[in-house]
Each structure stands twice: as structure tokens, then as C-alpha cells.
Structure 1
């Protein structure tokens, strides 16, 4: 039996919650963490599952705005730190799957290289 190259549903759920996938799925992990939509997937995986927990604040007796305010006091910093730590998270996940952590920002580096080459071409360097 050949090893799977994509995770099953239980493996995917475990991966979302931090578990490392088998080595046969490294290419899938690489595409997940560095491919198109990687940042969006990361943000959704962190920010959406917490919403039902925060909705429990709506059960607090009192006006609706009070429950919403308490939830917002937790959710807004979560959004901020989730965005701020995206790069760190992706590097860590790449390391845990025995992949090069420098791949986390390969797209940004490629874009900078194109801009640099264009600059040097326009200004007579290179």
C-alpha cells in the first residue's frame, strides 16, 4: 500500500491543532504553508474556531452590547497577534515538518528580487 500524499479528514483536523503530519505529506504541508492563500488559511484556522466560545459572552445577563464588548476585548487582540505572528507560525510549522524555514517568506523574497532587478536595470546597475 502506498503512502498518502494528502491528509485524511482526521489528520487534517489534527494538523490544524498542531500535530505533525507524516513525511509522505511534506509537499502538501509546503503548499499549505507557502502556497497561494496560506495566510488566509492560517487566519481562518485561528480566528473562526474561537467564535463559538466567544459567543458564550452573549449569555451574560445584561444588555447585548455588554456581551459583545467582552467578546471584542478578547477577539480584537487575538486578531492583532494572529496577524503579527503569521510569519513565526509558518516558520515553526515548516521546521516541525523538517522543511526549510526560509521558505516561509520565499514569495516576498522573490518579489523583492524582481523589484531590485528592475531598479538596477532602470538606473544602470547590473
Structure 2
């Protein structure tokens, strides 16, 4: 595998917060700001919880109770993962030596377009 994309062990370390080599900065920037970044963030955020989810399935009791415990844990983990996405994203960007306010090229173009439309509307007045 090339040094511009992490191998599975590097990706798991990345999911737990480890820094990837400098040669993968473009991949990290795309991972954190590219298309589907929110979905990738939620998936990456669930990886550290997998051992806890496995333990929930080993609890004694009926299967419906273990399933409900697992579902509650999953929903809470997803909620907090989504709620702190901005802070987690900024921290990962900082750890990898990238600007913490980095935005995707698509969002940058959209902001420029909105700004041009605003200035065209309100500068003339």
C-alpha cells in the first residue's frame, strides 16, 4: 500500500487519535473536510467503542436487555461523537500540522459564491 493512504493498522491508530506520517497530510485533510466527512467521522468515532459494545453483548440477562443496552450505548456514543465533531476535527487537524479552520474546496467555493451574491446585492445600495 502506498504511503499516501493509511494501512488498516495505521487507520485504527488514527481512529484512536494517533498521528499519521506527514506524507499522508493530503489524505487526512480530505478525510476531515472532503465529501462525506460527517459519515466518516461517525464511523471513525465508533471504533474506540467497539470493545465496550462487545462487553454489552456479554452481559447476563435476556437477549432483548443486552440488545437494548447495546442500542443505548450506540445511540449515546453517536450523539456525543456528532456533538463534538467540530472540536475533534480541529484537534486532528492541529495534530497533523494543518490549519484548524480548514474547509473543503466545495464549501470554500460555496462561501465565495454567497459572498459575491451578497456584495452584488448590498454594495450597490
Larger relative contact order (Cα-Cα within 8 Å, sequence gap ≥ 6): 2
What are structure 2's unaligned runs of at least 5 residues?
none
Evaluate the alpha carbon distance shift between residue 124 and residue 14 of structure 1 in structure 2; reply closer, same or farther with a 3 A threshold. Answer: closer
Which range moves more in the overlay, 32-41 or 112-121?
112-121
CA distance in 1, matches of 2:60, 2:9: 38
Could you say which residue in structure 1 is the equivalent of 2:114?
A: 115
Query: Over aligned residue pairs, what C-alpha RMSD do you find?
Result: 2.8
Consecutive unaligned residues of structure 1, counting only runs of 5 or more, are none
Shift of residue 89, structure 1, vs aligned partner:
0.9
Q: Distance in 1 between matches of 2:43 and 2:94?
A: 22
Which residue number corresponds to residue 42 of structure 2? 43
Q: Is the 8 A contact 2:4 2:23 kept in 1?
A: yes
Report deviation, 1:119.
3.9
CA 1:13 to 1:62, structure 2 compared with 1: closer, same or farther past 3 Å?
closer
Structure 1 residues 39 and 24, CA gap change in structure 2 (3 angstroms)? same
Where does residue 125 of structure 1 map in the other structure? 123
Match of 2:77 in 1: 78
Contact 2:3 2:23 in 1 (8 A): yes
Distance 1:62 1:25, change over 3 A: closer
Corresponding residue for residue 99 of structure 2: 100
Instruction: Output the CA distance in 2 between the equivalents of 1:69 and 1:9.
Output: 30
Distance across 1 between alignment mates of 2:59 and 2:23:
47
Q: TM-score, normalised by structure 1?
A: 0.74
Task: Quote the Cα distance in structure 1 between the aligned partners of 2:13 and 2:58.
Answer: 30
Q: How many residues align?
A: 123
